[in-house]
Amino acid sequence: MDLIIKKGKVYYENRFIDSDIGVRDGKIVKIKKRVSNAADSFIDAKNQYVVPGIIDAHVHLRDMKQSHKEDFVTGSRAAAHGGVTTVLNMPNSDPSALTVNVLRRMDALRKNAVVDIKFFAGLRDNLNEIPGMNDHAAVAGYKVYMTGDSGVSREELVNIFDFFSNKLFKIWLNSGQTHSGDSLPREKFNQKNKNKKIKRIAVHTGDDKPGEIEGIKFVSGLTGRFKIPVHICHISTSEGIEIVSKNPDLTSEVTPHHLFLSKGEYEFDAVNPSLRSKGERPGLWKMLDKVDIIASDHAPHTLKEKEDGAPGFPGLETSLPLMLNAVNKNMIPFERVIGMMSEKPAEIFGLTNKGMIKEGCDADLTVIDLKERWKIRGDDFCGKQKWTPFEGWEVKGVPTHTIVNGRIVMEDKELI
């Protein structure tokens, strides 16, 4: 064996069992009470939990012209430090991931990352680029913004959905506005791509409460018309979750900052969508059993940029710890956190052999001490930005080891 994880409480087939895990050539090869002691490396997981590696499906790793904020190496180290083994990177970088050439450039950048990085390609007026981008193995899906500089109009969004209605892809939606473009002739496109894997479209729907709700309603109507599966990003309202939960073609996502922070509690609280009032947050928690995934929306900026109103927070290193703390407070079952942060992201975005502990699957694993108490401090972060709205929060529960494709990248809370 290359690695044996000993005496852990392993999450296997929807329950915890006392077991060892044997790893060889990046794969899980043995799950049994005791695996032979012959191995190159060992992890003693006694009194700790071993869960499928955390998959963060909403991350902005920046790099290129935004490398002062974060880059693929520092962002991947932040991910590993937070117990995350796979990240899905958003397309609104500089330059934006709207072409095959930019994706190739990003692919080269991820070579030195310590976790797996997949990409969302952007959709705007670039439908002619879709066949080439779909051939890119690292593309997990496509993202549409309905707001901001990257946004498309509703008319353009209809054009995009019409183009994708052959069901070869899945869409990730950020509510907002879009741009139409010349599409490849449908017959030629279908013939070329008929055996290609389905990829989801994600949508960013809106930033204020009315915009979010109206955007989700509009997208929900389009899925009924075009029968395209769509993922709605970072929902911040209970009303939005309710709409999504009634549409089998939609999946949903919430962020820890929308679950734990209220508007006005933090000096630099700008984020898209906006934080909601303290009175509205309990409604989000009440609807959490209808949400598919939790994702960080890791969006690092320098403090100077933040002071100038840049929206977003670093989140890769706090997302899992905050949810573990919620487990310890009986706010959510541990099994539910695993489902929302490992299993369901792998299922929704087609990440084969990830999101589960099973013989033959990728050895992407997160080891967790559910009892350790500690304080969140930005100075301890491994990402480029050393600040957080959760500064000084005392939490209970911490990832201690992160294993990516059988390689230990964090051991005893220290990156290797």
The catalytic residues are 297
**DSSP per residue, 31-57:** EESS--S--SEEEE-TT-EEEEPEEEE
Q: What is the DSSP letter of 128?
A: G
Amino acid found at 105: R
* R_g over Cα of the chain: 20
d(CA 118, CA 89) in angstroms, rounded, equals 6
SS3 249: coil
d(CA 352, CA 78): 24
Q: Which two tokens stand for residue 73?
A: 């190496």
- Secondary structure of residue 254 in the 3-state scheme: strand
Which residue intervals of 82-153 are DSSP H helices?
100-109, 130-134
Contact 54, 83 (CB under 8 A): yes
> What is d(CA 238, CA 224) in angstroms, rounded to the nearest whole number?
21
Q: How many Å apart are CA 141 and CA 134, to the nearest integer?
A: 8
Tokens 């100077």 sit on residue: 304
